[in-house]
Chain A
């Protein structure tokens, strides 16, 4: 299957700082990537759809100014959590679309202290 790499795998940051998470499709080009968030013992919740060369589409209730998404190339999308707070601590997962399948990164565990 296709490979999607997410970096970093885990990160600890101080409250008020920003954190950038990268999602790369290593062996295919992805016009569309998706960002999910997963809290402990819960399912994945879609945050936003990232489209190469255009603005991301955010799901209802997701603050676009807090979760900045950039999809500048066909192999890279980034999610920046700005002014992170402890409640932003979660498991963030990206997926890259190669229709009809979607391939997922290994996830990034963010802990805000």
Chain B
């Protein structure tokens, strides 16, 4: 079974600075997807960024980028120019590429990101 570990229960960053959230995972599969989701107080999970394991190039979405290290099974999220609206719980998630992802997402426990004004 796959596992996802987020070792930072809480992180704090000054507005406009850069912060990196860590995520490691364990799997025996070679083909999979990795995600970062954001959950603000509204509780709705919002997809921040996605990475296909077969792609060596790190995904980027505006101020959000990842550092994907497949051999190390590491998938960190970097948020540049942090904004107050970035404050939320961030979840790292894994999805197998086999069986059309029918096994669902495996989530980490989350990192609570605080933005200091």
Pairing of A with B: no
- Seen from chain A, the residues whose Cβ lies within 8 Å of a Cβ on chain B are none
- Seen from chain B, the residues whose Cβ lies within 8 Å of a Cβ on chain A are none
